[in-house]
Structure 1
Amino acid sequence: MAVPPSAPQPRASFHLRRHTPCPQCSWGMEEKAAASASCREPPGPPRAAAVAYFGISVDPDDILPGALRLIQELRPHWKPEQVRTKRFTDGITNKLVACYVEEDMQDCVLVRVYGERTELLVDRENEVRNFQLLRAHSCAPKLYCTFQNGLCYEYMQGVALEPEHIREPRLFRLIALEMAKIHTIHANGSLPKPILWHKMHNYFTLVKNEINPSLSADVPKVEVLERELAWLKEHLSQLESPVVFCHNDLLCKNIIYDSIKGHVRFIDYEYAGYNYQAFDIGNHFNEFADRVPLCHPGWSTVTQS
């Protein structure tokens, strides 16, 4: 088993083919070059048909006025006084409001306002391409438009899952099927590169100067973190996990279960892109496993002597 840089390296390793540092895998060469090019991600899906754009900016602290202006553009036949709204508060970085007229919400427009400064980490143009690509494969709702600081799309019928739902065999099988479907989306003959290292480098670049001094006793020095990242790339890149199209952020609330149609769909494609298949699977478990109590009913009790 591979070990961190601070520990002695084993003489042999059953899954690593190279035991000396690889100059091509050193941390920062490709990532720093990409960062200097406006922090754009590696090439993603091919550009799809143009999406309607409105030069409207929605105040994140007062969403409704801007949202209603967008609804006038998208649903001009709706009478303003009849438009109902519903806010969703589960999001971590973005703000979301639903606009509809009928009680059943069969025709419902979601207005999502980007979180402040999220463009430093999220490539919004690539997000739109990912949205359209997934829609073309029946894995995403309709994308109605983009605006200055957000986008509007179709409301997806169903309920967002909770950690306790994920453990149900009927549901985790549906999740596995949907993930497998997304993983089969091809890059039109090109050889995609995983976005993992680029994303990690961008994030590290943003936060390394923002580490709170009070955490200095718990957070390693920047130089140590950089060496660990280089070590991770050196060794994990050799595991030959297939590079496929991934969601990359499959937490419970990003999974919508439609009990009538008997399927699940994934939402929020900010971090979607080609990546290691093993990362998408592992990250899904990592997003919810620590949120279910160890004494959860139905779990086997493990005792240690």
Structure 2
Amino acid sequence: MDVSKKYVAVGILCFINLINYIDRFAVAGVLPDIKDYYSLSNAQGGLLQTAFIFSYIFMVPIFGLLADRYSRKKLMAMGLLFWFIIIYLGSFIPRECGNLFIFLRAMVGIGEASYSTIAPTIIADLFYGSYRTKLLGSYFFAIPVGSTLGYVVGDFLAKTLGSWKYALRLTPLLGFISVFLMLLYLEEPPRGQFIGVKYSERNNFKVNLSFLSKFPSYIWSTLFFTFLCFTTHSLLWITPLFIQAIFKFRDVHVHQRSLTKAQSMIESNSALHDKAYNLCRQFLSGSWKDIKEDELVFHSISGGLSNSLYRCSLPSTHTPLCGEPSQVLLRMYGQLHSDDPSQNINKMTESVIFMMLSERKLGPKLYGIFPEGRLEEYIPAQALTCEQLRDPVISATIAHKLSHVHQLDVPINKEPTWLFDTIHLWLDSIHKIDVKMIKKDYQNLVKELIEFPYEEEITWLRNFLSSIESPVVFCHNDLQEGNILLPTKQTKSRLSSGSKNQLTKSLLEPNLIFIDFEYCAYNYRGHDIANHFNEWTMDYSAPEFPHFYYNPQDYPSETQRRFFVKEYIKAIDKSNLNPEIDTEDHILREAEIFTLASHFLWILWSIDHGYSSKIAFGYWEYGQLRLKNYLDKKRELIDLREKGLL
């Protein structure tokens, strides 16, 4: 065999070994997503690796025996093809078949055993001396490199393409190519051609074991390497879950200072689990009536002073019987038990709004309402990003949806009192702030914020807003990217095909969902649109404090604003269209003027929450930014009005 062909053959074998470990640890990298998808417990999640290892351990000596007697190249090819087919099929297993997914991961061990057992022997038979050592070293170096890449590649594919399943689909595709190359370039060398001992194909298996037992160093190194692999693979498998748990623990307990409080939270979660079980049985039918209390899959999603969110799921052993959901969202009102009757009224109003939007398919489905909260549809989706807000197709769809929301007739107070009532509510709480209770690093900033003459400014703002006629409509009042969901990645992936109009009307609109109706109320149309435009510049995905990015360059251009308003007008019922105020120019002017109201509202929100909230967010920094934006915009608009341009 030509030397250059030998190196090509070794390169292919090394590449396949790299794929091997990328696949193995890509699963570990997306294990939290797999557990959520199949509603697996931690033990079942660990069983994925255990099942694989046991089949691998069982098949390794079998393939070693076969490789001594039959064509190693053919054995590897068959094993690899089996391996890659099983991996690929595993990525299509539906969520109710978690046990089948575990079984297929066990079958993967068969394919891997065929390759990892045979490939090193071929390299050993292609080269000798120091060349053999170096090339075997290169082959085994693929183990740490592939293991590391497995986490990175798996997580990257899952996040980029929107599903953990894509993390399992890359290696099979690369694998089929590598098998073809192996069959093309690898010529199987004679067994043991460089060891100086005549090879016998038919050595008895017991004779071989007896021969190896005469070398204590071989036995001890094999045992210790086995223990090492068991330990390291166990740690590597659970590391993503462990790190995730650490960050969740940190986020949940960042404001907790004692073991007593932590214990209280544990007891509270246990009580919530029991309550969730009873609520699901009361409001949901079918399989929910059959599960036992300890079978309910219960996960905390987020928590805070306003609401706590939990995902309740049927176990993998139960499937829906009569159209009932397999998982729901449990929302618990954090501040319901208050002496302030307005809290109860606000929650009642929010539930009415939620029900109406649900019936009109403008929000998640509602499954049940109870005094402390409600059961909602759980939507496995990701919130939009600021970048997606700028996508013309998505922006047009948001405009359509918002127009439909504005035309709703909701049985709540229809006077436009919400804006200034809320401003006064937060202003009253600001008057009670004791600056001495604020961290010293923030005291000067807080003084600057709370000493601003808000009462005088409110009088001026009321007068300025009255200069434009803006219809009173039912408004969302907080339409930022985090409150807009697009449930399926399949929908988003199809944005690249088809015409823009087809996508807007028939594809995106039925799937785009508005959430978080905490601030919904009758308000001025201009405020809702202006606030949405302002949110184009605010990115709340920052992992580091203050947990937001401000990107003023992303504020929609006049062309983008006009496009949004044009799509908004298209969705207005023609019988309700007012030719005087439902025009592009007039709505754009409304939004321009009400930009001030948007900034002013969130200044006061920031100060109120900066003093009272325990959530890790840069409220003071956010309030300072919105105050600066307010004053800059105020100067700009006054200048335009004096020039007769507004």
Shorter-chain TM range is 0.5 to 0.7
Mean alpha-carbon deviation: is it higher for 273-282 or for 67-76?
A: 67-76
Q: Does the C-alpha gap of structure 1 residues 169 and 195 become closer, same or farther in structure 2, counting only changes over 3 Å? A: same
Question: What is the identity, as a one-letter code, of the residue corresponding to 1:258?
Answer: P
Over 3 Å counting, the alpha-carbon distance change for 1:126 and 1:169 in structure 2 is: same
Unaligned residue ranges in structure 1 (runs of 5+): 1-57, 301-305
2:483 pairs with 1:254: yes
Partner SS state of residue 197, structure 1 = helix
Residue 78 of structure 1: CA displacement? 4.1
Using the TM superposition, name which of 171-180 and 150-159 deviates more: 150-159
SS at match of 1:196: helix
Is 1:108 the counterpart of 2:347? The answer is no
Is contact 1:194–1:243 with CA below 8 Å preserved after alignment?
A: no
1:102 deviation in Å?
A: 6.3
- Residues 1:236 and 2:465 aligned together: yes
- Cα distance in 1 for partners of 2:271, 2:365 equals 25
Identify the residue that residue 218 of structure 1 maps to in structure 2: 448
Quote the Cα distance in structure 2 between the aligned partners of 1:150 and 1:220: 34
User: Residues 270, 187 of structure 1: CA spacing in aligned structure 2 closer, same or farther, 3 A cutoff?
Assistant: closer
Relative to structure 1, the CA distance from residue 254 to residue 295 in structure 2 (aligned partners, 3 Å threshold; closer, same or farther) is closer
Shift of 1:276: 1.0
- Residue 274 (structure 1) shift: 0.7
Partners of 2:356 and 2:410 within 8 A in 1: no
Distance 1:61 1:283 in 2: 40
**Contact 1:112–1:150 at 8 Å: present in 2 too?**
yes
Question: How far apart are 1:146 and its partner, in Å?
Answer: 2.7
Q: Which secondary structure does the structure 2 equivalent of 1:96 belong to?
A: strand
Residues 386 and 538 in structure 2, CA contact (< 8 A), matched pair in contact too: no
Aligned partner (choices 397, 402, 408) of residue 185 of structure 1: 408
Specify which structure has the higher proportion of helix: 2
CA displacement at 1:253 relative to structure 2:
1.9
**Which structure is larger by alpha-carbon Rg, 1 or 2?**
2
Letter paired with 2:280: I
Kindly tell me: are residues 295 and 266 of structure 1, through their superposed partners in 2, closer, same or farther at Cα, counting changes over 3 Å? Answer: closer
2:280 aligned residue (62, 67, 71): 71
Q: State the 1:126 CA deviation.
A: 1.0
Give the 3-state SS of the residue equivalent to 1:156 in structure 2: coil
Q: Name the structure with the higher strand share.
A: 1
Answer yes or no: is 1:283 the counterpart of 2:506: no
Deviations 1:254-291 (A, max 9, x none): 11113445331101111101111111112223334132
The 1:86–1:219 alpha-carbon spacing in structure 2 relative to 1, beyond 3 Å, is same
1:1-305 mapped onto 2 (5 Å cutoff): 59=268, 63-75=272-284, 76-80=288-292, 81-89=294-302, 93-101=306-314, 106-116=325-335, 123-186=346-409, 192-210=415-433, 212-213=435-436, 214-215=443-444, 217-221=447-451, 224-259=453-488, 260=491, 262=508, 263-291=511-539, 294=551
Determine if contact 1:60/1:113 at 8 Å carries over to the other structure.
no
The root-mean-square deviation of aligned C-alpha atoms, in Å, is: 3.6
Matched to 1:200, the amino acid is I
Code of the aligned partner of 1:112: R
Q: 2:68 maps to what in 1?
A: none
Give the distance between the partners of 1:179 and 1:158, measured in 2 at CA.
Answer: 20
1:250 CA displacement? 1.6
Question: 2: distance between equivalents of 1:245 and 1:163?
Answer: 24
Q: Distance in 2 between matches of 1:246 and 1:295?
A: 25
Secondary structure in 1 aligned to 2:401? helix
Inter-CA distance 209–240: structure 2 relative to 1 (3 Å threshold)? same
CA distance in 2, matches of 1:295, 1:234: 27
* 2:364–2:379 Cα contact (<8 Å) kept: yes
Distance (Å, rounded) in 2 between the aligned partners of 1:62 and 1:207: 35
Q: CA deviation at 1:96?
A: 0.6
More displaced stretch, 99-108 vs 146-155? 99-108
- Provide the rounded CA distance (Å) in 2 between the counterparts of 1:139 and 1:269: 11
Where structure 2 has 5 or more consecutive residues not aligned to the other structure, the ranges are 1-266, 437-442, 492-506, 540-548, 558-646
1:63 to partner: Cα distance:
3.5
8 Å contact from structure 2 (residues 406, 473) kept in 1: yes
Tell me which moved more, 60-69 or 80-89: 60-69
Is 1:141–1:153's contact at 8 Å kept on the other side of the alignment? yes
Q: Distance in 2 between matches of 1:225 and 1:72?
A: 50
Q: 1:272 to 1:60 in 2, by over 3 A?
A: farther
TM-score by length of 1: 0.66
TM-score by length of 2: 0.33
In the other structure, the counterpart of 1:37 is none
Q: Is the 8 A contact 1:60 1:95 kept in 2?
A: no
The farther-off stretch of 106-115 and 288-297 is: 288-297
How has the CA–CA distance of structure 1 residues 203 and 89 changed in structure 2, closer, same or farther, with 3 Å as cutoff? Answer: same
Corresponding residue for residue 21 of structure 1: none
Q: Deviations along 1:149-191, whole A, 9 cap, x unmatched?
A: 3221122353222223222222222211111110111358x96
The alignment partner of 1:218 has SS state of helix
Query: In the TM superposition, what is the alpha-carbon distance from 1:201 to its structure 2 partner?
Result: 1.3
Q: Is 86-95 or 224-233 further displaced after alignment?
A: 86-95
Q: Could you tell me whether the CA contact under 8 Å between 1:90 and 1:253 is conserved in 2?
A: no
User: Higher relative CO (CA 8 A, sep ≥ 6), structure 1 or 2?
Assistant: 1
Name the amino acid aligned to 1:98: R
- Counterpart AA for 1:79: I
The aligned counterpart of 2:255 is none
